[in-house]
Structure 1
Amino acid sequence: MSGARTRRELVVEAWRAVLEVEPAGDDEDFFDAGGNSILLVMLQRELSERLGHRVPLSRISADPTLAGLSALEDGPAADAAVRATPFPRDDGRPAPLAHSQERLWLQEQFTPGHVDGTIELAYLLAGDWEPERLERALLRVVEHHPVLRTIYPIDADDLEVSQVVRPTAELVLEQRPTEALSGAVPPLGPGDQAGPGGPEALEAVAAGVFADWWETPFDLEAAPPLRARLCALGDGRHLLCLQVHHLAFDGWSERRLIDDLAAAYRGEELRPVPVGYASYSRWERSEAAQWLESDLPFWRDRLSRPPRPFLPAPGTAEGERREAEIGLDRDTVGRLTRVAASYGGPPGAALAAAVGRAVSGAFGVPDVCLGTVTAGRSVTALEPVVGCFVNPVALVLGGVCGQSPGESMRSTAEALTSAMEHGRTPFDELVRLLGPDRERHPWFQTWVVLQNEPPRAHLGEAMWLDPVRVPKPRTGLDLVVEAIPRPDGGWRVLVAWRADVVAGSSAEALRTELRAAFGGLADLA
C-alpha cells in the first residue's frame, strides 16, 4: 500500500459499496451508519478484496470507524475464498437447491407444514391507499424476484428435487374482514395499533389471521411459496399478511421485499438484482470445496467435545410455543454494543454472552453451546437478492459458570467472530462429516439471534406501512432468545420455548438470569 491516503480511499470505496452512502466523517461508526452483522461480513469481504489481504472480523469490530478501518495493518494475502469465482449466468434451466434449501425441503417432507419452515410477515396499513394498486405492486415484486415464483418439483427418473422458475408472476391478494377468518381472531379496540398503544393486541389479531395458513402446508412442487391476504380492521386500517416458505426467504429478504413493494406502489423503478437465486445455488456448489478446506479443521477442533444436552428430549416434532419478553432501552443497547466492540465483537456478541451466562445460571450447566446463524451473504452482489442464505453455526462457550462478565464477553466475542469467519460451509455438510449424535439436534438446544430491525415503508403522502410481529402457535425449537431492534434504538428481547421441554419456572428463572446478565455486561462500558 503506497500511503495512508490510498488506504483511506479504498476503505471509503468499501464503505460506500456496502452501505450505499458516503461516510459522514472519520469518526462515524459503521453500526451507527446503518451497519449490522450481515453488512459487517460484506464489509469484511470488500475490504479484503480492496486491501489485498484478509481482514479479520474482530479487527473490524474493535474500531468500526472510518479512521479505525483506515489504520488496519496488512495481514496475510487474501485466500481463494475471498477471490471467489464469478456467478454463472442464469440459463433458465432447472437448478439444484442451495444447501440451506435442501435442509428445509427435507424437513418439509418429514413434517409437512411445520411452522418453523415458514415466515410470517404482517404490516399495518393506514392512509388513503388503493388495494388494487397494492396487488399490482405485489405482482411486480414477485416478477422482480424469481425465487418468489419458483416451484420445487421432483424428477420422476432420478428423484432429485430442483428449483424451476415459473415464467410469469402469479399472486392473488385475498381480501377479507378479520371476522370472516378462522373464528379465532380476537377483537381489536380503537386504541390498539402497532406501537406503544397496544402491540400485543394487534399481534394477537395477526396470529388469528394466519391460523388457517399454519394448518395448510405449501404445495412446493406445484405452487410458488408465497401467500398474500388483506384484512380490514375497521377505522380505515388494514392488515397486510404475507406468508412465505423459508425455502425462498430469510430475515434479510424482508427489507428488500418491503423496499421494492413501496417503490412499486409509488410507480418507481425497482433496485436492480444482479444475481438470480438459481445462479447463487450453482455458484455455492462451485465454491463449496474451497470453503470446506478452510472451515473443516476449525469445526473439527471446536466441536470435538461439545457440551451435553441439558433439556429433556421432546416426544413430538412440534410443541406448544410460549414466550416472555424483556425490554432494553437505547442507553443499555448502546453500552452493550460498545462493550462488545471493546472485546472485538459485533453487537450480537453481547446478546450471545448474556444468553450463555443466563442459560448456565438458570439450568446449572457449566458449559454452554448456543446455535446462531450467519447471513450467508458474504458477497455484496447478494445483498439485494431475496432468498434463503442463512447457515447455522455453533458457539461453544466453556466454563461459563465461573467466568466474570468480562471473561464471558471476551470468550463469546472470540467464539462468534471465529464462527462467522468459518461459517461458509453448509451446516448439514459439517453434520455429515463430523458425525455427531443424531438422536438430538446436533450440538445445541438453545438458539440466539440478533434480528434486523423490522422495516417500515412510506407508500405515499400520509400512507404508511408498519410491521406487526406474528407470534407462532407452536415450534420445533426447544429454546430461542432473539433480540429485535426497535425504532428508538432499544431491543425487544423475546424468550420462546417449547412448553413440553422447558418448565414455566425454568423459563422465568432464565428471564431473571438474562436481566442480570445484560446488566452485568452493560456495566463494563
Structure 2
Amino acid sequence: GGAEPRAEQGPVTGTAPLTPIQRWYFATQPDRFDQRVVLEFADDVDEPALRRALAAVWAHHDALRLRFEQTPRGRVQHGEPVWPAELLADDVTFDVEHGPLLTAVLDGRRLLLAVHHLAVDGVSWRILLEDLETAYRGGELAPKTTSYVQWARRLAGHAAAGGFDDELAHWQALPPVPPLPADGDGPATIDGTGEVTVRLTEDETRALLRDVPDVYRTQVNDVLLAALGRVLHDWTGQAPVIDLEGHGREDLFDGVDLSRTVGWFTSVFPVALDVPEDWGEALKAVKEQLRAVPRRGIGYGALRYLTGTAPDIDPLVSFNYLGRFDDADGGAFQTGPLDADVDPEAPRTHALDVVGRVTGGTLEVAWSHATGLHDRGTVEALAGRMLAALREIIAHCAAPDAGGRTPSDFPL
C-alpha cells in the first residue's frame, strides 16, 4: 500500500468565497452557461448502471454539489452534502441556487452530459469522463484530491494576506489595449458568432511539436503566440495585448493537490507581446515575455477580483492552447467534442477568441469572432496569415544556423 491520500475522502461541505473566475462570471455572464459533451455508447445502455455511475460521480466530486446563494454581502458558494437528486432528466436546466450542477439526458445509445460552467473546466471533463466510465463498469473511483471549496478558501486567504501583492508592479506596467480595425460596429453577441478553422498538415504538426521546441527551448504555446502576435501586430500596427487562458491549477500551497479535483480553475490574464521581425529573435522574445508572467498568471484574477487592486485590463483578443485530444479506443463510449450552451443574447467577452488544439495528429486553430464586428473574409485572412507564420517558423527552425538560449534557460 502507498501513502494514505491527504485529502478528505467524504463529502466536503460548508461555505467558501467565490474564486476569481466565478466572480468574473457573476459580474459579466448570463445565467445560462453550461458545458456539455455527447457520449456515444458502443452497446445498449444499462440504465440502472448509468444511474449508479452518475450518482457515484456526483457524490465523489464536491463541486457538482455547489449551491450559489445571494447574501447581503454578495454571493457565496456552499458545498452541500449528498442528497437524492434526479441526475437523469428529460432536458437540461440548471438552478445555481439549489443545484445539482450536473445533469444528463439519455436518448438511445447517446448520452448528453451537461455541467454548469461554475463547476467545471477542460481538465475537469477529463476526470469526470474517466470516472463515469470507471463507475459504469462497476469499478472504484480514484481517491479524491483537495476539494474546490477548500481551494477557494485558501486562495482568498492568501490574496487577503498580501500573497500576490508582489505582482502588482507587473500588471500595472502593461501597456493599454490597442483597438482592432473593424468591418462593422456590432453587436457582439453569442448569437452573432462565426468560426473559421484552419489546419497544418500532419508533417507540419509533427515538426511544430517535435522539432521546433528544441531549437530555442520553447513550448508550443510560445510558438503559437509568436505567430499570433506577429499577425495581430501587422493588422493593428501596434504591439498586441491579449488575454491568455491557463489551467489555473498552480502549485501555490503545501498540502494542496488539485490533480483529480473537479471545478472551474481557469485563470485568465493579460499579456503584452512584442514580436521582433526576425523569427529567431521573435521566438526568444515571446518566450521570455511569457516566462516573466508571475506565477503563470494566476495572481491577476486574485488581485483584480478578490482584493480589487490590479488594474482592469480587458483585451479584445483571447488565446488558449488546449493540447492534444484523442479518444481512447475500447472504452464503453466515444466522446464527442466539448461544447458550450450559452444564452444567445449574451455579449461576447472578446471580439476574437483563438483556440489551438491537436486532434487526429494535426494542429487546428479555430478563430471565433463577432460577425457584427468582423466579416468572415477578414478572419479567414488573419487565420491564413497565422498558418503562414507558423510555416515560416518551422522553416526557420529547420535551418542549420537557427537556435539559441535565453536568460530563463539559466535560472538564478
TM-score by length of 1: 0.65
CA deviation vs aligned residue, 1:254-293 (integer Å, no higher than 9, x gap): 1111111111111111111131111111111222245413
The reply to whether residue 254 of structure 1 matches residue 170 of structure 2 is no
The reply to whether residue 119 of structure 1 matches residue 40 of structure 2 is no
The reply to whether residue 161 of structure 1 matches residue 76 of structure 2 is yes
| Distance (Å, rounded) in 2 between the aligned partners of 1:285 and 1:88 | 20
Look up the equivalent residue of 2:113 and give its one-letter code. L
| Distance (Å, rounded) in 2 between the aligned partners of 1:455 and 1:132 | 29
SS across alignment from 2:157: helix
SS across alignment from 2:257: helix
- What residue number does 2:207 align with? 335
Pair 344,394 (structure 1): closer, same or farther in 2 beyond 3 Å: farther
The reply to whether residue 226 of structure 1 matches residue 98 of structure 2 is no
- What residue number does 2:225 align with? 352
Pair 389,420 (structure 1): closer, same or farther in 2 beyond 3 Å: farther
Residues 479 and 495, structure 1, Cα contact 8 Å, conserved in 2: yes
| Distance (Å, rounded) in 1 between the aligned partners of 2:195 and 2:115 | 23
Pair 509,450 (structure 1): closer, same or farther in 2 beyond 3 Å: same
Residues 455 and 466, structure 1, Cα contact 8 Å, conserved in 2: no
Deviation at 1:472, TM superposition (A): 6.2
The reply to whether residue 410 of structure 1 matches residue 260 of structure 2 is no
| Distance (Å, rounded) in 1 between the aligned partners of 2:84 and 2:19 | 22
Query: Aligned Cα RMSD in Å?
Result: 2.9
| Distance (Å, rounded) in 2 between the aligned partners of 1:390 and 1:482 | 15
Look up the equivalent residue of 1:376 and give its one-letter code. G
Deviation at 1:409, TM superposition (A): 1.7
Deviation at 1:172, TM superposition (A): 2.7
Residues 244 and 318, structure 2, Cα contact 8 Å, conserved in 1: yes
The reply to whether residue 97 of structure 1 matches residue 13 of structure 2 is no
Deviation at 1:128, TM superposition (A): 4.4
Look up the equivalent residue of 2:157 and give its one-letter code. S
| Distance (Å, rounded) in 1 between the aligned partners of 2:267 and 2:213 | 22
| Distance (Å, rounded) in 1 between the aligned partners of 2:355 and 2:166 | 29
SS across alignment from 2:107: strand
Deviation at 1:443, TM superposition (A): 3.9
Pair 173,456 (structure 1): closer, same or farther in 2 beyond 3 Å: farther
2:363 pairs with one of 472, 491, 510 = 491
Pair 458,516 (structure 1): closer, same or farther in 2 beyond 3 Å: closer
Look up the equivalent residue of 1:98 and give its one-letter code. T
Residues 255 and 455, structure 1, Cα contact 8 Å, conserved in 2: no
Look up the equivalent residue of 2:380 and give its one-letter code. E
Look up the equivalent residue of 1:295 and give its one-letter code. E
- What residue number does 1:240 align with? 111
Residues 200 and 387, structure 2, Cα contact 8 Å, conserved in 1: no
Once the two structures are overlaid, the 10-residue window that deviates more, 93-102 or 505-514, is 93-102
Q: From the two aligned structures, give the one with the greater helix fraction.
A: 1
Matches within 5 A, 1:120-519: 120-155=36-71, 157-168=72-83, 170-174=85-89, 218-232=94-108, 238-288=109-159, 289-301=161-173, 303=174, 305-311=175-181, 314-315=186-187, 318-337=190-209, 338-361=211-234, 363-379=235-251, 381-398=257-274, 400=275, 403-419=277-293, 421-427=295-301, 429-430=303-304, 432-436=308-312, 442-454=313-325, 456=327, 463-470=332-339, 476=348, 477-486=350-359, 488-519=360-391
Residues 253 and 386, structure 1, Cα contact 8 Å, conserved in 2: yes
| Distance (Å, rounded) in 1 between the aligned partners of 2:327 and 2:89 | 22
- Number of aligned residue pairs: give it: 378
| Distance (Å, rounded) in 2 between the aligned partners of 1:420 and 1:467 | 35
Give % identity.
24
- What residue number does 1:51 align with? none
Relative contact order (C-alpha < 8 Å, sep 6+): which is higher? 2
Deviation at 1:500, TM superposition (A): 0.8
- Structure 1 gap segments, 5+ residues each: 1-16, 18-85, 176-211, 233-237, 437-441
| Distance (Å, rounded) in 1 between the aligned partners of 2:116 and 2:176 | 32
Residues 295 and 423, structure 1, Cα contact 8 Å, conserved in 2: no
- Structure 2 gap segments, 5+ residues each: 398-412
Look up the equivalent residue of 1:356 and give its one-letter code. G
Deviation at 1:91, TM superposition (A): 6.6
